[in-house]
Amino acid sequence: MDRTTKEIRDYYNANVKEEWNRIAGRPEFLITCRYLDRYIRPGDSVLDIGGGPGRYSLYLSEKGCDVTLLDLSEENVKFAAEQ
């Protein structure tokens, strides 16, 4: 792993909750969810690459989708699994 990738991973590993809270209730999240609703249906399989702590994955899972989340940050993946 190169230095830049490691620095990015370390940053997100150290700031999981901040990233989780960053978009809660904000226009970015609400607008993105409207687009997700338009194109993704319950029962669809979704691969969330770079999904961070899983806010969108959780939204889609609650909607009835089969979601797989991948992220560079191991802590983000652990946090998402706990949600």
Q: Where are the domains of the chain?
A: 3-82
Q: What is the pTM of this model?
A: 0.90
What band does 25 get if pLDDT is binned at 50, 70 and 90?
A: confident
The CATH number of 3-82 is which of 1.10.10.60, 3.40.50.150, 3.30.1330.10, 3.90.226.10? 3.40.50.150
What band does 1 get if pLDDT is binned at 50, 70 and 90?
A: confident
Mean predicted confidence (pLDDT) in 16-20: 95
Contact 52, 76 (CB under 8 A): yes
Chain centroid offset of residue 78 CA = 11
Contact 11, 70 (CB under 8 A): no
Per-residue pLDDT, 33: 97
d(CA 3, CA 13): 15
Q: What is the pLDDT of residues 33-48, one digit of tens each?
A: 999 999 999 999 999 9
